[in-house]
Amino acid sequence: MDERRLTDTECALYGTKSCALLNMPDCDKCPLKGRVADPAIHDDLKLFCELQPEGTIASLFESETCTLCKGEPKGQASCYAVFDMAHTEPKKLAKRKLLSRQETGFMVPLQFACCGKCRRRILLQSYLPLITPIVLTLIVLPFVMIEHFAQTMRQVAGWLPFAVVAAAIIGGYGVGKLLSYLYKRRIESDMYVDVRTHPFVGAMTEKGWRPLFPDRTAHLAFTKKRIDRGLGTAPSAVYDLPDAVIRNDEEE
Ligand SMILES: [Zn+2]
């Protein structure tokens, strides 16, 4: 199971569940390298396991079928939709800032196994407010640039060509927003367009997790290869390992 290159046999985390949970590819890249004297790290990571909803966060990326499809049949997973969540616990972790760069405790990427169809739909839905003004502007631009039309417009009012372009951009954004909303309404019957409504995010929220950027709309990053290092990226089998105990070689 373990394909990681763990070289630092002196490390207090070597061979423990805590090490497996941190899931670093090798000891040199581990953020805890040379600073694992604090046994509280095992308590922190034990707490991390307790804060997992049923199935653990690993079930999202280990699924072979799409986790964003509703109902059956679900599409074959071909990429991952990443959504970051954070927890206020553990407080001391926030102070140490070892596992997290934010003023939060734990921070994990939720990696939803996702099919090609769901990915295309989410991207189209989120980019419609950008695509529509561009398309509209490209349609009106030739009319403004062709002298014959421009002249006719200027005869009505000098600012009219400019106003037409501005209307295409601003109006296009509004139309795009509306189209995006209508499109979302249409597709959300058979997929989770906004992952914040996903049952797993609901279960995470019940355990005290919050979206890392709660004020933003649920922005998803798509990736072909899943994030495979750091907290929350270890396979589900790791969570079943016996709890880590501090090795104290000097006492032996
Ligand atoms: Zn899907």
The Å distance, Cα 120 to ligand 1 centre, comes to 10
The Å distance, Cα 189 to ligand 1 centre, comes to 12
The Å distance, Cα 55 to ligand 1 centre, comes to 20
Q: In this predicted structure, what is the pLDDT of residue 168?
A: 92
Nearest CA-CA partner of 12 in 251, 245, 252: 245
H or E segment and range at residue 238? helix 236-239
d(CA 83, CA 219): 7
| Residue 81, beta-bridge partner list | 112, 222
pTM over 0.85: no
The Å distance, Cα 177 to ligand 1 centre, comes to 23
The Å distance, Cα 66 to ligand 1 centre, comes to 5
Nearest CA-CA partner of 62 in 84, 49, 80: 80
| Residue 26, beta-bridge partner list | 5
The Å distance, Cα 74 to ligand 1 centre, comes to 6
Amino acid at 166: A
Q: In this predicted structure, what is the pLDDT of residue 218?
A: 66
The Å distance, Cα 201 to ligand 1 centre, comes to 17
Residue 13 DSSP symbol: T
Q: Is 66 helix (H, G, I), strand (E, B) or coil?
A: coil
d(CA 65, CA 62): 9
Q: In this predicted structure, what is the pLDDT of residue 96?
A: 54
Parts of the chain with a pLDDT under 70: 1-3, 35-38, 92-104, 215-218, 244-252
Tens digit of each residue's pLDDT (9 = 90 or more) over 15-57: 888 889 999 988 888 877 776 666 778 888 899 999 999 999 9
The Å distance, Cα 76 to ligand 1 centre, comes to 7
